Amino acid sequence: MKRKVILGIDGGTASTVCICMSLTPFDQPLPDPLPILARAVAGCSNHNSVGESAARETLENVMADALAKSRSTRASVQAVCLSASGVDHPKDQHHILTWLREIFPMHVRLFVENDAVAALSSGTMGKLHGCVLIAGTGTIAYGFTEDGREARAAGAGPVLGDWGSAYGISAQALTAVIRANDGRGLQTTLTQNILDKLNLSSPDELIGWTYSDPSWARIAALLPIVVSCADAGDLAAINILFDAVHELASSVKAVVARLELCGEDGKDPFPLVMVGGVLEANKRWDIGSEVINCISKDFPGVLPIRPKVEPAVGAALLAWSSLMRQCHQEASTS
């Protein structure tokens, strides 16, 4: 019998990952380890960053690569879950679903979600309940209840509010350097460290460097410098990281409160899946732990989860669980 597979795609701002996983029977628990057949990686597929044409080409290539590595074909695919940054409205979902339908046969079930959904699924193993906080190049908090309600906070991009992300932290660091050079802000070791990293000779050159290519990932890559300067006691860097902790915690608390994930008294337990390089422990600074401490003051039931699988696997698990629910619903009505 020809093997059936599902595809899970995590389309982030920095890179795109596609997982090809064997479809297991729905009357059996998922095996451990998961039946992952192949993994493929490509560049950015956020249409807001690179444009629709480039995003589509990236997604087509990464799916084709994963299928080729697993020695599978499009005809063997049973479900696809594309979880991508930049999918923020129903019109985004509809547009991408229409495009995916042009690629895959009619029997393939298609699901399109924001990348936060796959990140949540990676921590809950396919169950959509709780909250996820992503803090990488960008940031978003996204929550789901068991009855299907959902809410989000932040995730509006670098202009409208990715504060607390690697981009937001690094952009504040660049601003601190400019302010210090002008005499409007604290003198900071960020200045020399950033100039050395970028091979620049003066803060004035930062203006040209920033606007010559203001890509999110390029600026976000300065995050380790900010953390190192904070570790060394630089007050400007420390203030930036404390601001980031406050912003990230506020996003989660807004989602939890709107969905009442914590119950009426604010003390019920709820899972918080934490994903992204900003939330990983770095030297003496552990932004993730600081965020949890801040959240637990208001919501002591928070249960932090560090996923054991990547978001692309979460997308594949989401495709598997969605396909299972649809099959059960069809069987019950037939």
Say yes or no to pLDDT of 157 above 90: no
For the record, the structure tokens of 28 come out as 């059996």
Q: Where are the beta strands (DSSP E) in the chain?
A: 5-11, 16-22, 36-42, 77-84, 109-114, 130-135, 139-144, 150-154, 270-275, 302-305
CA 47 – CA 79 distance, rounded (Å): 22
Strands 270-275 and 302-305: parallel
Local confidence band at 4 (pLDDT 50, 70, 90 cut-offs): very high
Q: Residue 316: its pLDDT value, please?
A: 95
CA 65 – CA 38 distance, rounded (Å): 9
- Comparing 81-90, 130-139, 225-234, the range with the smallest average pLDDT is 81-90
For the record, the structure tokens of 80 come out as 């696809």
Local confidence band at 90 (pLDDT 50, 70, 90 cut-offs): confident
Q: pLDDT tens for residues 181-210?
A: 999 999 999 999 999 999 999 999 999 999
Q: Characterize 26-49 residue by residue with b for buried, 16 or more Cβ atoms within 10 angstroms of its Cβ, and e for exposed.
A: eeeeeeeebbbbbbbebbbbbbbb
Nearest to 315, CA basis, from 168, 58, 125:
125
Strands 130-135 and 139-144: antiparallel
Question: In 3-state terms, what secondary structure has residue 107?
Answer: coil
For the record, the structure tokens of 179 come out as 């302010």
Say yes or no to pLDDT of 1 above 60: no
Q: Residue 160: its pLDDT value, please?
A: 80
Say yes or no to pLDDT of 24 above 60: yes
Local confidence band at 99 (pLDDT 50, 70, 90 cut-offs): confident
CA 95 – CA 112 distance, rounded (Å): 10
Q: pLDDT tens for residues 282-314?
A: 667 889 999 999 999 999 999 999 999 999 999
Domains of the chain with CATH codes: 5-128+309-333 (3.30.420.40), 158-305 (3.30.420.40)
Q: Residue 255: its pLDDT value, please?
A: 97
Are the CB atoms for 111 and 79 separated by under 8 Å? yes
Q: Characterize 195-225 residue by residue with b for buried, 16 or more Cβ atoms within 10 angstroms of its Cβ, and e for exposed.
A: beeeeeeebeebeebbeeeebbbebbbbbeb
The amino acid that residue 271 corresponds to is P
Q: Residue 12: its pLDDT value, please?
A: 73
Q: Residue 236: its pLDDT value, please?
A: 97
Local confidence band at 334 (pLDDT 50, 70, 90 cut-offs): low
Mean pLDDT of the chain: 90
Say yes or no to pLDDT of 216 above 60: yes
